[in-house]
Structure 1
Amino acid sequence: MRTIFLYSQLFFFSVVTYLPAAAQEMSGQPREKTAFQIAAPWKAVYDIRSDVAIVYGVNDTDIPFAERVALYRQKGYETHFMTGIAWGQYQDYFLGEYDGTKHLDEGQVERDGDTIWHGKNVPYIVPSASFLDYLKTHVKQAIDAGVTAVHLEEPEFWARAGYSEAFKKEWNNYYGFAWMPQHESPEATYLSSKLKYELYYNAVKEVSAYVKEYAKSQGKNIRCYIPTHSLLNYSSWQIVSPEASLARLNTIDGYIAQVWTGTSREPVYFNGLEKERVFENAFLEYGSMVSMTAPTGKKLFLLTDPIEDWPRTWEDYKENYQATFTAQLLYPGVASYEVMPWPQRIYLGKFKLENNDTPQPISQAYATQMQVMINALNHVPLSDNKLNGSQGISVLVGNSMMFQRFPTHNGYEDPQLSNFYGMIIPLVKRGIPASIIHMENLDTEYGLKNTKVLIMSYANMKPLSPKVHEYLADWVRKGGILLYYGKDTDPFQQVREWWNTNGNTYEAPSQHLFELLQIPAATGDGEYEVENGKVVIRRKDPKALVLQAGGDEEFMQLVRTAYQKDAAAGKLMIKNNFYLERGPYLVAAVMDEHQDKSSLTIEGPVIDLFDPELPVLAEKEVPPGTQTFLFALSAIDDMQRPQVLAAASRIYNEKSTADSYSFLTKSPEGSHNVMRILLPSAPSEVTISKAGDHVKTEFSQEWDAVTNTLKLEFENSSKGINVHLRF
């Protein structure tokens, strides 16, 4: 496969064989590559044909949960169960129907005494023992209904909460001393957030253990997943959650990375300008989730949403869906996806157009494009390929990023989480595929294995254990290059923690790290050789790198020197794009806000999977600020074998003979199907009929003699459409 890149860079890629849907199915094993979540019962108009239907909530509809599960199973779906662990349709618990006692006083409460509500009579909850017992009854019902996995969604505690009697009780039990109002001191804020973290860690631990124990008693093996926002988003939105720690529980089998337009459109700073940077932010959010999970070997589903919770225009949804969709595909070590939440909201909902205030249903074109994209996810393979660009630069993060967000003290400010983004957005914007490393995973084999240059700061987080520094110091001594940014003067440096208790008297946690590295206590900038490695200290908080125009110039020079000279890792490539090949799928994004304003050109022939017409292009131009998702015909190993290359439907029952090719295809009822099919020669006969009654279906066809591909268009059916081709 040939590609044209800016700067004429050459990259070498491994070969991944493309297999049609039927060949990818694992005989005798449930296939769980793609999924969607839904509370509503099955309907033909949103029958999107992913592998798994994650049926939401025991109490979420008038139709009993077991009936909803049975219906999805009858339609061929593997079924899972999802329910919120911090909120949900639990009015029977809160209003006293469950045990005769009202529990509204267990909600998360703000300083002014207001409860934080998720819905009517549904507070975000302080997870009490009685609430967890109640939640276990829902888990039991789900397992009894035949689900094969349980998802405990969004363990969330708002940073601004922490004033309820329920929380004060938990404080006394955990710390053994009187509750401290978090607004009164940095230490109270930090300790409050740390407790919130522990409460939901223990809640997940207890309920997931029940999942495993009850399943085992029934002779079943039920998996348990945590659908959660990224550490970056929770930190930005001022929410505390256990995040990375949960992967260490042997009762947790993995996560769903809840990243979508709604999280990724959170504005961030770069070059002095605060604005939405949806692709870049999504790329980092997914990267945070991959980094959190990959070292543990647990499964990860990546989520996208063709719309979002907040009402906007269809044009806005489409543009940002493409951005987040592209970002998730740039992580080739993950190939499982939640293709959408709430299909009924997408197919039956109405939203505005750009110049029309009257809400409109989804357009035929966007629905077709979306269906092409989600069906492609059934085939996108895992790959050992890497993003183009300089590998080996990482930024350190930790769960304690969530602990300093609210309220502020002594003038401490971190606008839009800029003490994190300052270390990484300048790299991403220059086409450097910087990775994220979780300090909670430094003890794994994966750890810092592929990192040559590590950038870190304690301006926005703190190490929860001195072990973190032992791993970092060992890595530096063996040849790692560490760039440390931070004044170490924020008010959270003096909170009651391991570095200043039990005989330790460090004024800041970084002093412990530098002592292990035998670096003298430094108040100013410095550069220090440490055995085979090097430490560069800059007494500047990372937010300064992005809050001012041009604030990252010295930073980029330091990164270049560290990478090229100190780490001897090769030339630091500066460019405006990311590009990745995954089997026949080509994924690319071109950044704006870059001195290089040129487009990326990708040689064809390729099928444009973001275009609902599925055109075959001789080449694809990707302008700055846009992304693309392509199917490369040159990746097909047997051009004589008939196969569906792309379709707004899912393909079943493929059959080939010397002169024919047939299959069954399914997608939401009444939606518009466009598909491109590879054939050895032009078809002499095309027959299309509805499954079951064999009634002929109207269609249009177009043959491309250059690529030997047939484009078919017709109306989809949930029951299925039979396609028979002779050639």
Structure 2
Amino acid sequence: MKKTSILIALLAASALVTAQVKDPVKTTFQSSREWRPTIDNRADAVMIYGTGGNPSDKSKRIPFEERVKTWQNKGYITHFMTGIAWGEYQDYFTGKWDGKMHLDEGQVDIKGDTIWHGHMVPYIVPTDNYLKYIKEMHVKRVIDAGIDAIFMEEPEFWARAGYSESFKHEWKKYYGFEWRPQHESPENTYLANKLKYWLYFNALNEVFTYAKAYGKSKGMDVKCYVPTHSLINYSQWMIVSPEASLASLPVVDGYIAQVWTGTSREPNYFNGVVKERVFETAFLEYGSMESMTAPTGRKMFFLTDPIEDWPRDWVDYKKNYQATFTAQLLYPNIADYEVMPWPERIYEGLYKTSMNSDTKAKIPKDYATQMQVMINTLNQMPKSKNQVSGSSGISILLANSLMFQRFPTHAGYDDPQLANFYGLALPFLKRGVPVKTVHIENLSFKEALTDTKVLLMSYANMKPLSPEAHQHLADWVKSGGVLIYSGTDLDPFQTVQEWWNTKGNHYSSPADHLFEKMNIEGVAKEGRYNYGQGSVHILRTDPKDYVLKQNNTQQLLAVVKDLYETKAKGGKLQFKNNFFLTRGVYDLVAVLDESVDAKPYQIKGNLIDLFDPKLPIYTSRDIQVGEQCFFLNLDRIQDKQKPQVLAAASRIYDEKIDAHHYSFIAKSPIQTTHISRILLPQKPKSILVNQQEVFAELNWDQKTKTYLLGFENDPQGVAVAIKW
């Protein structure tokens, strides 16, 4: 064999091996504690939090390296997570690290008050010295401990901050001129927030570049991830973060979408009413995170939390957990999950038993069982080519600068509760249209607009950071896309000193530059314009008016419906009050309130209700307005003769099958109750749990050939042996 042929064969074999290497982590969680039997939820990996732990966890902690070993000894893949904008870094602030006090590097508001995350834990202005500390004292240490995946969470700079001496120093270094108070003008606000955005972009680039280089020096391939809230949430909470721009960094391997009840319950306006809309907000938040990374191919974990940071009651937690859990599963291209943060808080914390009670208790047994059934479905949740029911192809354009205009307000122009975004999203989402989002920073990727037929946008609440995006939009319209622009272009940020009005450009607003690209000269009037094979329709209304006022969406709906059906050739624009998705054997349903009607959604089949800790089987269910449901559809199981655990409040290990016998080991946290529904070829004669006979005739369902099995969980494992 010739050397060339041998080389080609070796390369081909190498490529095959590489293609077959599977990322072993599909599910993960974060904990600042050592392993304990009460928090052993059996995800694939654990992100051990902080070399010094989590600032909100005041319990005594064992050293980081020992914490790592306790989880590794139980079979977990161990990763590392810490905050990039805050953390247990008192040795830095008090001068223990380098002999200098650094409390002046905290983020400071206009009153001169430091913004704190916890006791002696300020939100940080990421100076060069601070980044040096993070690298040397934290990143190096965890890589030396053998950790090859680092999660730097929540790069957050508060919009109300920007008054510290450290920030003023960074301003002068970045802009080359003296600091300007952000409250004095829209331009100062824009410049301040643009700097905040860049500081954490640079911080992550610096830290991750170091992590990869140091890991490589030790023969390790270190992966780097950013757990971050969605652009929608940060904008609504008035926080600045690099978000989609991180996709341009080769040192970023992926993200965690930090979406949960706490973010999704932030009220928004619709039809003149401001209130919590947890499912809808979560759906949009997860969507913005998916679209942020979809064109890049980076890994994305979706997070849900069975409780939340704010102390409430178990009834409230359960209701909203189901809403956010359903919302995350309605994105069939994402199948990696952070199943929970802080299991020590979830399993061991005390919370009110109901809204009107002062009695506090640990997680109710039935809720713990239900939650564990839900998180164990995630270990086998498949990606799917199926789409959520409804008219597809309507997207809303987002930009990172959505975070720049939130605080303070200027010239009396307000955007309450991010109404200019929700004004484009909720009129369609509430009518059963699964709207998506597109990030302007990703328009250079050809995949960014592949599935979009009609793109809605406004510059009332954001601005383009570069002119290149407009050429991409114009090219897309020319090739047949439909663009609907809604905005008066009268907000005070239109005139900040930016690329559209400097260096030879004299546009009164960035939209004028965009329209000129499509042969629409001057200040465009409301109306429809053709460009190439596509169309542009301009509405001279700021989108917030569609939701701040009652019954004020008729014009927007009519324009979108007409263009969707006639120009975009999207078929009939369907309005309904529900969403439905099939993923493998799973069915997901959400029925919306404030919609076109109040009819329940009926689903039929042999269905295991995965939101019910008793795992009942239904042949028909009517899902009411405001409810979400999650089912396992027995009719879609491919091999009904194969014994298998279909749903369980434990993770299943060591399955063994022969002609008349099926056995496995079930593991889950202690002090919780197991429930499982097991498919068998025929009615069992014997079921042994830890060698004790437990078979009960009434737990056998002959029609579906499933057995309902319950016992108390044990993280060391419960042995189940079934004979028929």
* TM-score using structure 2 length: 0.95
Letter in 1 for 2:227: P
Does the Cα contact within 8 Å between 1:698 and 1:714 map onto a contact in 2?
A: no
1:561-589 CA distances to partner (integer Å, 9 max, x unpaired)? 01001212100011111111110011110
Q: How many residues of Structure 1 are paired with residues of Structure 2 in the alignment?
A: 697
* Cα shift at 1:44: 0.4
1:87-131 CA distances to partner (integer Å, 9 max, x unpaired)? 001111101111111100000010110010111111101001111
Does the Cα contact within 8 Å between 2:431 and 2:596 map onto a contact in 1?
A: no
* Cα shift at 1:27: 9.3
Whether 1:302 and 2:299 are equivalent positions in the alignment is: no
* Cα shift at 1:551: 1.1
Report the more deviating stretch, 642-651 or 62-71: 62-71
**Paired residue for 2:708, among 685, 707, 711?**
711
Counterpart for residue 641 of structure 1: 642
Does the Cα contact within 8 Å between 1:90 and 1:122 map onto a contact in 2?
A: yes
Does the Cα contact within 8 Å between 2:270 and 2:426 map onto a contact in 1?
A: yes
Change over 3 Å in CA distance of 1:561–1:369 after alignment to 2 = same
* Cα shift at 1:447: 1.6
Letter in 2 for 1:67: E
SS in 2 for 1:446: helix
Change over 3 Å in CA distance of 1:717–1:699 after alignment to 2 = farther
* Distance in structure 2 (CA, Å) of the matches to 1:553 and 1:199: 43
Does the Cα contact within 8 Å between 1:290 and 1:300 map onto a contact in 2?
A: yes
Letter in 1 for 2:594: E
Counterpart for residue 393 of structure 2: 392
Counterpart for residue 15 of structure 1: none
**Equivalences for 1:531-550 in 2 at 5 Å?**
531-550=532-551
Letter in 2 for 1:341: P
Whether 1:671 and 2:672 are equivalent positions in the alignment is: yes
1:141-181 CA distances to partner (integer Å, 9 max, x unpaired)? 11111222000010000000000110001000110111110
Whether 1:58 and 2:55 are equivalent positions in the alignment is: no
* Distance in structure 2 (CA, Å) of the matches to 1:698 and 1:112: 67
Does the Cα contact within 8 Å between 1:282 and 1:324 map onto a contact in 2?
A: yes
SS in 2 for 1:357: coil
Unaligned runs of 5+ in 1: 1-25
Counterpart for residue 32 of structure 1: 25
* Distance in structure 2 (CA, Å) of the matches to 1:29 and 1:627: 33
Counterpart for residue 442 of structure 1: 443
SS in 2 for 1:422: helix
SS in 1 for 2:675: strand
* Distance in structure 2 (CA, Å) of the matches to 1:659 and 1:429: 51
* Distance in structure 1 (CA, Å) of the matches to 2:49 and 2:90: 16
Letter in 2 for 1:171: W
Counterpart for residue 133 of structure 1: 132
Counterpart for residue 202 of structure 2: 202
Whether 1:246 and 2:246 are equivalent positions in the alignment is: yes
Whether 1:225 and 2:222 are equivalent positions in the alignment is: no
SS in 1 for 2:282: helix
**Equivalences for 1:521-560 in 2 at 5 Å?**
521-522=522-523, 524-560=525-561
* Distance in structure 2 (CA, Å) of the matches to 1:722 and 1:670: 17
* Distance in structure 2 (CA, Å) of the matches to 1:640 and 1:519: 65
Letter in 2 for 1:163: Y
* Distance in structure 1 (CA, Å) of the matches to 2:604 and 2:526: 47
* Distance in structure 1 (CA, Å) of the matches to 2:395 and 2:365: 42
Whether 1:172 and 2:165 are equivalent positions in the alignment is: no
Unaligned runs of 5+ in 2: 1-18, 54-59
Counterpart for residue 10 of structure 2: none
**Equivalences for 1:411-430 in 2 at 5 Å?**
411-430=412-431
* Cα shift at 1:62: 2.8
* Distance in structure 2 (CA, Å) of the matches to 1:501 and 1:441: 24
Change over 3 Å in CA distance of 1:450–1:398 after alignment to 2 = same
- Structure of higher RCO (CA pairs closer than 8 Å, 6+ residues apart): 1
Letter in 2 for 1:442: L
Does the Cα contact within 8 Å between 2:686 and 2:695 map onto a contact in 1?
A: no
Letter in 1 for 2:186: P
**Equivalences for 1:363-378 in 2 at 5 Å?**
363-378=364-379
Change over 3 Å in CA distance of 1:289–1:311 after alignment to 2 = same
* Distance in structure 2 (CA, Å) of the matches to 1:388 and 1:588: 10
* Distance in structure 1 (CA, Å) of the matches to 2:295 and 2:569: 26
* Cα shift at 1:451: 0.8
Counterpart for residue 6 of structure 1: none
Counterpart for residue 12 of structure 2: none
Whether 1:272 and 2:269 are equivalent positions in the alignment is: no
Counterpart for residue 7 of structure 2: none
Letter in 1 for 2:569: A
Does the Cα contact within 8 Å between 1:604 and 1:620 map onto a contact in 2?
A: no
* Distance in structure 2 (CA, Å) of the matches to 1:698 and 1:204: 55
* Distance in structure 2 (CA, Å) of the matches to 1:422 and 1:55: 40
Q: Percentage identity across aligned positions? A: 58
* Cα shift at 1:353: 1.8
Whether 1:725 and 2:718 are equivalent positions in the alignment is: no
SS in 2 for 1:326: helix
Report the more deviating stretch, 323-332 or 585-594: 585-594
Counterpart for residue 331 of structure 1: 331
| Runs ≥4 residues deviating over 3 A | 26-30, 696-701
Letter in 2 for 1:410: A
Q: How big is the alpha-carbon RMSD for the aligned residues of Structure 1 and Structure 2?
A: 1.2
Does the Cα contact within 8 Å between 1:523 and 1:539 map onto a contact in 2?
A: no
Letter in 2 for 1:112: K
* Cα shift at 1:356: 1.9
* Cα shift at 1:466: 0.4
Change over 3 Å in CA distance of 1:521–1:629 after alignment to 2 = same
Counterpart for residue 193 of structure 1: 193
**Equivalences for 1:559-578 in 2 at 5 Å?**
559-578=560-579
Letter in 1 for 2:25: E
Letter in 2 for 1:169: H
